[in-house]
Amino acid sequence: MAVIGQDISRAKGVLDAGELVAIPTETVYGLAGNALNPAAVASIFETKNRPSFDPLIIHVPSLGAAENYVTNIPSPLRKLAEHFWPGPLTLLLPRKSNIPDIVTSGLDRVAVRVPDHSLSLDLLAQLDYPLAAPSANPFGYISPTSPKHVNAQLGDKISYILDGGNCKVGLESTIVGMEEDEIVVYRLGGLDISEIESIVGKVTVKSHSSSNPQAPGLLESHYAPTKPFILGNLNEMVAYYQEREVDFAVLSLSQSFPAVPVGNQIALSPQADLKDAATHLFAAMRTLDESNATVILAELMPEEGLGKAINDRLKRASTKG
Ligand code: TXA
Ligand code: MG
């Protein structure tokens, strides 16, 4: 198992040696390595078992630091960075040649963000390279929102996890770029579209076009538990599985089910607050995946605010008929 601690200089030592460290961010934990060192980046892909055509986000301590790795920042995207960095926003920007091909899978744009977590910002400020970091989970599985989640799955492959507690946003960053004059959202995430639109006006959401080769690795099946994960009307599904005497677990927004054992159900937010629900989503999916149920039943959230990003994750996690 990896050591879990808050020692920034230890984390720096591991990274300087070309090895990987799990780092906390406000969204999810990242599996970080020196983005300018192709061998370190290669070991990220290997550790996660991630296909190398799926490019990585680089993490920097500030907008000023981002300028070292991109040739220019279109003004609407600069405005977004000024408003929302540090925060759950990733920008796709034209890369400088100092960013190795392996980081972007050969694409012309590099994904950049400034994470909102004091430990990781302190660490980044001490490094003379950005950190490439995908979510710290095996490819395709649920993203980790606590050091324990990371240790459970990657603990035998990395030596150190920087402990920043539970992630406060709980959903990956929203990914934004430009195509001609159009502002495009490629992945729904922790920064709500309406907040983005309040700064730069109307945006286009392309997060579902899996046919678009420029789109982020939006593979249809992702964020998935190992158990069958079924989306639908919870009251109907609960009745159906109860009748058939199947051991099931229930993931709801706020509803509880008196006939289902407490250990087999999680309401994401008793107040039906979507931000709160986002924070708890991945941990809840893991808990139910580890329960003794044979199937997990879940419902979609209202399609508003962060509900859209949560629904995106739920749909990708769900078992296709
Ligand atoms: O919140 C987050 O973004 C977390 C934390 C650790 O920062 N990171 C994260 O990384 O979610 P990952 O690798 O799990 O997801 C990054 C997404 C992928 O879908 C990838 O395809 C897309 O970003 N992406 C990265 N670079 C890209 C590029 N140059 N062009 C298009 N999509 C890119
Ligand atoms: Mg991921």
Q: What pLDDT, on the 0 to 100 scale, is given for residue 23?
A: 98
Which residue bears the tokens 């095996």?
138
Is ligand 1 within 6 A of the CB of residue 167? no
Is ligand 1 within 6 A of the CB of residue 293? no
User: Which of the ligands is closest to the CA of residue 170?
Assistant: 1
In terms of domains, do 233 and 158 share one?
A: no
50 is in an annotated binding site: yes
Q: Could you tell me if residue 310 is inside a domain? A: yes
Q: How far is the CA of 54 from the centre of ligand 2 (A)?
A: 10
Rounded-to-integer distance, Cα 175 and Cα 177, Å: 7
Indicate the average pLDDT of the chain. Answer: 94
Q: Which of 175, 194, 209 is the last residue of a domain?
A: 175
In terms of domains, do 160 and 268 share one?
A: no
In terms of domains, do 167 and 311 share one?
A: no
In terms of domains, do 41 and 147 share one?
A: yes
Q: What pLDDT, on the 0 to 100 scale, is given for residue 318?
A: 93
3-state secondary structure of 169: coil
Q: What pLDDT, on the 0 to 100 scale, is given for residue 216?
A: 46
Rounded-to-integer distance, Cα 102 and Cα 34, Å: 12
Q: Could you tell me if residue 124 is inside a domain? A: yes
In terms of domains, do 119 and 52 share one?
A: yes
Q: Which of 175, 190, 206 is the last residue of a domain?
A: 175
CATH of the domain at 152: 3.90.870.10
Task: Answer left, alpha or beta for residue 72, where phi above 0 means left and psi between -120 and 50 means alpha.
Answer: beta
Q: Could you tell me if residue 180 is inside a domain? A: no
Q: Could you tell me if residue 145 is inside a domain? A: yes
In terms of domains, do 15 and 153 share one?
A: yes
Is ligand 1 within 6 A of the CB of residue 207? no
Mutate to test the pocket of ligand 1, among 91, 103, 135 (most ligand atoms within 8 A of CB): 135
Mutate to test the pocket of ligand 1, among 71, 85, 90, 223 (most ligand atoms within 8 A of CB): 90
Q: Looking at residue 317, what DSSP letter applies? A: H
In terms of domains, do 24 and 162 share one?
A: yes
Question: Which of 16, 19, 14 lies closest to 39, judged by CA?
Answer: 19
In terms of domains, do 11 and 157 share one?
A: yes
Q: Which of 175, 192, 221 is the last residue of a domain?
A: 175
Beta-strand ranges (E) seen in 1-155 are 3-5, 21-23, 30-34, 57-59, 89-94, 109-113, 131-132
In terms of domains, do 169 and 233 share one?
A: no
Q: Could you tell me if residue 214 is inside a domain? A: no
Is ligand 1 within 6 A of the CB of residue 170? no
Rounded-to-integer distance, Cα 247 and Cα 268, Å: 20
Rounded-to-integer distance, Cα 13 and Cα 3, Å: 14
Q: What pLDDT, on the 0 to 100 scale, is given for residue 285?
A: 97
250 touches 263 (CB < 8 A): no
Helices 147-154, 274-290: inter-axial angle, 10-degree rounding: 30
Per residue of the chain (321 residues), give pLDDT as tens: 999 999 999 999 999 999 999 999 999 999 999 999 999 999 999 999 998 889 999 999 999 999 999 999 999 999 999 999 999 999 999 999 999 999 999 999 999 999 999 999 999 999 999 999 999 999 989 999 999 999 999 999 999 999 999 999 999 999 999 999 999 999 999 999 999 999 999 999 997 644 444 444 455 667 889 999 999 999 999 999 999 999 999 999 999 999 999 999 999 999 999 999 999 999 999 999 999 999 999 999 999 999 999 999 999 999 875
Q: How far is CA 143 from CA 67, 154, 219, in A?
A: 29, 12, 14
133 is in an annotated binding site: yes
Residue 282 lies in domain: 229-317
In terms of domains, do 67 and 150 share one?
A: yes
223 is in an annotated binding site: yes
Q: Could you tell me if residue 274 is inside a domain? A: yes
Is ligand 1 within 6 A of the CB of residue 146? no
- Tally the domains of the chain: 2
Q: Could you tell me if residue 85 is inside a domain? A: yes
Q: What pLDDT, on the 0 to 100 scale, is given for residue 219?
A: 59
Mutate to test the pocket of ligand 1, among 124, 173, 175, 207 (most ligand atoms within 8 A of CB): 175
Q: What pLDDT, on the 0 to 100 scale, is given for residue 319?
A: 80
For 167-190, what is each residue's pLDDT tens digit? Answer: 999 999 999 999 999 999 999 999
> Which ligand 1 atom is at minimum distance from the Cα of 217?
21
Q: What pLDDT, on the 0 to 100 scale, is given for residue 108?
A: 96
Q: Could you tell me if residue 185 is inside a domain? A: no
In terms of domains, do 20 and 125 share one?
A: yes
In terms of domains, do 169 and 239 share one?
A: no
CATH of the domain at 240: 3.40.50.11030
For 109-150, what is each residue's pLDDT tens digit? Answer: 999 999 999 999 999 999 999 999 999 999 989 999 999 999
* Closest residue CA from atom 20 of ligand 1: 216
Rounded-to-integer distance, Cα 279 and Cα 306, Å: 10
Rounded-to-integer distance, Cα 244 and Cα 60, Å: 52
